[in-house]
Amino acid sequence: MGWVGKPNAYVPDMYGPGIYVRTNARGFRSDTETPPAVVSEKRRIICAGDSFTFGEGVSNATNWCHQLSLLSDNFETVNMGQPGYGVDQIFLRYMRDGINLDHEILIFAFVDGDLDRMAYSHMYGYGKPILVLDNGNLSPTNVPVPRFRWNLSRMLERADLRSVEFVQRIASRPAEPVSPIDQVGPVATRVFRSVYESCLEKGIVPIFVYLPTERDIAEETPWHSWVASAMTSLDIPMIDLTPMMRRISASEAASFFIPDSLPAGGHYTESGNLWVAEILQKTLMKDTRILGIERADQESD
């Protein structure tokens, strides 16, 4: 996996005064625990993703995954987002820690950079696995992952917030060149298909979501074009928020992103997270696959 969230962590002013991060015993970003079984009549959604899903720059209460649960009485959400993850790690973490939890819906959310990260052997100074295809099957390499190159955790304990952000930005720069589509594309395609098929086997509705970054709004990126084509060829539905964000005014779109001069720059602001949550909530409530979900404990004889 490379790294996961520290269980039962609490940083009260992680991104500024009152902008806190708390994790539960599973290391998920949450103010409450995540029991294996759903104890309410709500449909549980697992949000798997990277720092945009985790909610870098905003508090537990205002990331889009949590806000999705506030917008509808039908859903409870589990935030499995992890900063720095690529599509490969999102997949591996969900298959290890998520798929066997009781849930009806998976939101597998990613940005274009998460595909580039699939070729990296390290991020944030930590080693990470690399998925390759072995006779058409996904196989992890670079495992066990190398130990991190320096004691980053001790540096962060002594650093202020801006220093933390600086160190993370420097540490996240890959040693390898940006991965070409022809190198990573076939592996990513197999990941998407594996997630889709694994969910269907367990009666879980898989929802793939492409989250736009500032670069997606400014121009058509190679990965955005590739993902749209790949999902069509796989016949897998995907919610692409890019066209919707491009249609709003430039000033409103700019308000959705934290300025680069601030910690967590480039990630969604509170209003950006709310916008994502509102779009997803409306889309999910129209999805016939979700409307047809009936919990086992509610089935009639």
pLDDT in tens, 68-107: 999 999 999 999 999 999 999 999 999 999 999 999 999 9
Counting Cα atoms < 13 Å in the Cβ hemisphere of 114 gives 30
Q: Please give the model's pTM, rounded to 2 decimal places.
A: 0.88
Is residue 296, in this structure, part of any structural domain at all? no
Is residue 21, in this structure, part of any structural domain at all? no
Is residue 183, in this structure, part of any structural domain at all? yes
d(CA 61, CA 111): 22
Name the packing angle between helices 64-71 and 270-284 (round to 10°).
50
pLDDT for residue 263: 85
299 token code pair: 């089935």
CB atoms within 10 A of CB 251: 7
What average pLDDT score do residues 253-261 get?
Answer: 97
pLDDT of 156 higher than 50: no
Is residue 276, in this structure, part of any structural domain at all? yes
> Among candidates 269, 261, 253, 259, which has minimal Cα distance to 217?
253
Is residue 145, in this structure, part of any structural domain at all? yes
Residue the block writes with tokens 């492409």: 210
Domain of 227: which CATH number?
3.40.50.1110
Mean pLDDT, the chain, whole residue set: 88
pLDDT of 171 higher than 60: no
d(CA 149, CA 205): 39
Look at the chain and report how many structural domains it folds into.
1
For the stretch 11-18, contacts whose Cβ atoms lie closer than 8 Å and that sit 24 or more positions apart, written own/partner, are 13/161, 14/161, 15/56, 15/57, 15/58, 15/59, 15/161, 15/263, 15/264, 16/161, 16/263, 18/59
Q: What is the DSSP letter of 145?
A: P
Lowest mean pLDDT among 135-149, 158-172, 180-194, 248-262: 158-172
Is residue 5, in this structure, part of any structural domain at all? no
Is residue 17, in this structure, part of any structural domain at all? no
- Report in angstroms the alpha-carbon separations of 174 from 93, 117, 166, 170: 21, 8, 15, 9
Domain residues for the domain of 170 are 32-286
Is residue 230, in this structure, part of any structural domain at all? yes
pLDDT in tens, 215-226: 999 999 999 999
